Amino acid sequence: RRDFPSVGSIVVARRETQGEMLFHLGCAGLPDLRLVLVNELPFRLGREVTQALRWSAAARVTQALSPHLARRDLVVLRRLMDTLHRRYSADAFARTVGAHRPQLSQRLVGSGLPSVGRLIQWGRLFQAAVWLVEPGRTAESVSRPLEYSSGAAFRRALRARLDQTPTGLVAAGGLPFVLDRFRQECSDEQALTAVRAG
């Protein structure tokens, strides 16, 4: 848990579980450890999973960008972050929000956001920024689940989009640094859209 702090922890126990074992779990210093009794699972599991994931990349990115985005765009961004593990193409992701890729890209760009394909790239960078600062992860271990063909491809993406190496990204602050770069790109996109419209 120390090596992977963004991973939520839920303990499911029976009523007859020894109190001593639960006491030791509590003393272990696991942050945000959630305890659910088996008979309460149907009623509490969804809420407990939400609480256990409140430090996930999806939750942190959504919270950080919520003051800057319209609700419908925030919903799209949250869906994207929640489904990164499914490795959707831009077309497939657009279908999950009930749109065609060109339509969704046009709507996003009209709101000052990147197109669907670029937004997926940013989502991967947000997730990478959260994972890279965790002691149990390396650039190689972060690159695989984020669909980079290799650690070298991941490093090239960081260099191209953020002008950073994995170590440099951690030193620059991780997620807050990536969020700042994202907001900066969105501001540039908004300015370009205004120039095209004018």
What pLDDT does 2 receive? 67
Q: Would you say residue 198 has pLDDT above 50?
A: no
Q: Would you say residue 143 has pLDDT above 70?
A: yes
- The pTM assigned to this predicted structure is 0.78
For 195, counting Cβ atoms within 10 Å of its Cβ (0-12 exposed, 13-18 middle, 19+ buried), the class is exposed
Q: What is the pLDDT of residues 150-165, one digit of tens each?
A: 889 999 999 999 999 9
How far does the chain reach from its first CA to its final CA, in angstroms?
53
Mean pLDDT of 18-40: 72
Q: What is the pLDDT of residues 60-95, one digit of tens each?
A: 899 899 988 889 999 999 999 989 888 899 999 999
Q: CA 180, CA 163: separation in Å to the nearest integer?
A: 13
Q: Is 95 within 8 Å of 53 (Cβ atoms)? A: no
What is the C-alpha R_g of the chain? 19
The first and second tokens of residue 143, run together, are 């690159």
Q: Which residues contact 34 (CB under 8 A, 6 or more apart)?
A: 8, 9, 10, 11, 48, 51, 52
